[in-house]
Amino acid sequence: MLEGIASCTSGWQGTHGEQKMDKLIIEGGRSLHGTVRISGAKNAALPLIAATLLAPGRHRLGNVPDLRDTRTFLRLMENLGVRHERQGDVLHIDSTDLRNTEAPYDLVKTMRASVLVLGPLLARMGRAKVSLPGGCAIGARPINFHITGLERLGVTCRLEHGYVDAEIDGRMRGCTIYFDIPTVTGTENLLMAAVMAEGTTVLKNAAREPEIANLIDMLTGMGARIEGRNTDRLTIHGVDRLEAADCDIIPDRIEAGTYLIAIAATGGEGTVTHCNPAHLPSLLEKLRASGLIVEEGESSISVRWPKDNGHALKSVDIKTMPFPGYPTDLQAQFMALMTLSSDVCVITETIFENRFMHVAELQRLGADIRIDGHSCVVNGRGMSGLSGAQVMATDLRASSSLVIAGLAASGRTEISRIYHLERGYENLVDKLTALGARVWKDRE
Ligand code: EPU
């Protein structure tokens, strides 16, 4: 039987306050070796869970990661009247009895992706009231493209008391929407809004991240008609109704990239499995350019050092871009790797205006990094250039760069506020331990 949140919180006890007390301790300087299985992608799971709002019935999602963010999203869904049940990595969701159309501030403020309920609620219920997410540690992150796109589809949006209150009389009407900047959740929200619109909608300059193709597969399985998968021009022919679907979440490319970088940074050798190498084209090229040997299997990627090169890592510049460019969600981790290189490189962030929060923390571990506007100049100090220290996690990906640096550093590193890591990395401690790391959680 489907139940409320109690059914999906196995292993999760206590309040956010308690979680914030946890810190991660790493005894660094040990190289990582072995194999690590990659979980389902957080950033695909959230929109696919939101898509279940579009049609009544019992949906089945496979390969769903059990993360703080997926649990928060399910709390939000439950608040809307959705029931769900987790069996291993399979999530059954029944959205037949939707009774509420409001996403309150308390839930949205802890997870910006809550805004993903806007499009599907409007498509199914004709109404949605969602708290504006506000800024976060990495930037202002407005949702203006979501809102103007919905208005083009005929929705009336009022911004009042910190909420976007949106409604439409009847069905949305297909139109052409051009995004000034490719936006991932904006593209997802408008896809979910347009699938049941009257007529055809065209999304131009749409984002092309693999998570969007995953959502298109889910929507197509529900009966939607969408052309242009994996391109920046999506054509959606509206249908009258959708039905419940069965879809698997794609592997988490950011988790896979994080482990590959961690293995490289510790001078190790290892393989990430259950992943899709085609989802990480730019990272794999950058790892090769820095002197590592990277081999791609059908659903695995291996990384190792060439024999007898003395672990001399070449410095490589990166610039974050929308997919298939270098992902912003792997910028901080690559910077940690580059602090161990033998020369100077420039890392440029073009997606978010404040995504260098990890720099000051990496400096506490001995890294030589200078921020210059939207770029960082990283002066590599060699593979033994970092030493353990106490640092603070500031956001999800910044935290994983501190884990990588801590694993590579000599001595002990203590990372506080690791609830950030728990938002996006499933079983991090167990996975690192299996690779030979000495790492554990403790109370602050
Ligand atoms: N933007 C606007 N207006 C909008 C929407 C976006 O100006 O209405 C700007 C943003 O401020 C940013 C750029 O457009 O400068 C791209 O942002 P995007 O909308 O693509 O980001 P997002 O959809 O909010 C998703 C991921 C992020 C990831 C980014 C970029 C999810 C749930 N989140 O965010 O993931 O960094 O795309 O790839 O899919 C993470 O997992 O740690 C994370 C932050």
Burial letters for 335-345: b for 16+ Cβ neighbours within 10 Å, e otherwise? bbbbbbbbeeb
Last residue of a domain, one of 227, 248, 269: 248
* 107 in any annotated domain: yes
Distance (Å, rounded) from C-alpha 179 to C-alpha 165? 22
Domain co-membership, 304 together with 406: yes
Distance 329 CA to ligand 1 centre (A): 10
Q: What is the pLDDT of residues 60-99, one digit of tens each?
A: 999 999 999 999 999 999 999 999 999 999 999 999 999 9
Length of the chain: 444
Report how far apart, in Å, the C-alpha atoms of 270 and of each of 35, 239, 315, 408, 430 are. 6, 47, 21, 15, 16
Per-residue model confidence (pLDDT) at position 112: 87
Q: Which of 183, 214, 426 to mutate to test the pocket of ligand 1 (most atoms within 8 A of CB)?
A: 183
- Give me the mean pLDDT over the 288-294 stretch: 97
Distance 28 CA to ligand 1 centre (A): 33
Per-residue model confidence (pLDDT) at position 134: 63
Domain co-membership, 350 together with 220: no
The answer to whether the CB of 325 is under 6 A from ligand 1 is no
Domain co-membership, 203 together with 282: no
* 8 in any annotated domain: no
Last residue of a domain, one of 248, 279, 311: 248
Of the residues 136, 175, 247, 376, only one is catalytic, namely: 136
Residues 6+ away with beta carbon under 8 Å from 296: 277, 284
| Predicted confidence (pLDDT) at residue 34 exceeds the cutoff of 80 | yes
Identify the band that residue 141 occupies on the pLDDT scale cut at 50, 70 and 90. confident
* 133 in any annotated domain: yes
Q: What is the pLDDT of residues 361-382, one digit of tens each?
A: 999 999 999 999 999 999 999 9
* 1 in any annotated domain: no
Report how far apart, in Å, the C-alpha atoms of 347 and of each of 103, 339, 342 are. 37, 11, 15
Work out the percent of the chain whose per-residue pLDDT is above 90: 87
- Give me the mean pLDDT over the 258-283 stretch: 98
Per-residue model confidence (pLDDT) at position 5: 32
Looking at residue 170, which CATH number applies to its domain?
3.65.10.10
Domain co-membership, 93 together with 215: yes
The answer to whether the CB of 315 is under 6 A from ligand 1 is no
Per-residue model confidence (pLDDT) at position 16: 42
| Predicted confidence (pLDDT) at residue 1 exceeds the cutoff of 60 | no
338: left (phi over 0), alpha (psi -120 to 50) or beta: alpha
Work out the percent of the chain whose per-residue pLDDT is above 70: 94
Mean model confidence pLDDT for the chain:
93
- Is 275 catalytic? The answer is no
* 5 in any annotated domain: no
* 2 in any annotated domain: no
Domain co-membership, 235 together with 269: no
Domain co-membership, 139 together with 260: no
The answer to whether the CB of 46 is under 6 A from ligand 1 is yes
- In degrees and rounded to multiples of 5, residue 113 shows phi and psi of -65, -10
| Number of domain units in the chain | 2
What strands lie across the sheet with 412-416, from one edge to the other? 390-392, 412-416, 22-27, 438-443
The DSSP line for 74-98 is: HHHHHHHT-EEEEETTEEEEE-TT-
Per-residue model confidence (pLDDT) at position 2: 46
Last residue of a domain, one of 207, 230, 248: 248
The answer to whether the CB of 324 is under 6 A from ligand 1 is no
Determine how many CB atoms are found less than 10 A away from the CB of residue 309.
12
What pTM, to 2 d.p., does this model score? 0.95
First CA to last CA across the chain, in angstroms?
39
Domain co-membership, 107 together with 170: yes
Instruction: Give the closest residue (by CA) to ligand 1 atom 19.
Output: 183
Determine the distance from the C-alpha atom of residue 141 to the mean position of all C-alpha atoms in its chain, rounded to a whole number. Answer: 15
Are residues 9 and 71 in contact, defined by beta-carbon separation less than 8 angstroms?
yes
One-letter amino acid of 67? L
Q: What is the pLDDT of residues 313-367, one digit of tens each?
A: 999 999 999 999 999 999 999 999 999 999 999 999 999 988 999 999 999 999 9
| Predicted confidence (pLDDT) at residue 14 exceeds the cutoff of 60 | no
- Give me the mean pLDDT over the 395-423 stretch: 95
Identify the band that residue 39 occupies on the pLDDT scale cut at 50, 70 and 90. very high
Residues 6+ away with beta carbon under 8 Å from 158: 164, 165, 166
Domain co-membership, 269 together with 404: yes
Domain co-membership, 276 together with 220: no
| Predicted confidence (pLDDT) at residue 137 exceeds the cutoff of 80 | no
Instruction: At 108, list the tokens.
Output: 């949205």
- List the domain range (segments joined by +) for residue 292: 13-39+251-443
Domain co-membership, 275 together with 207: no
Domain co-membership, 317 together with 393: yes
Domain co-membership, 137 together with 92: yes
What are the strands, taking DSSP E only, across 192-232?
200-204, 225-227
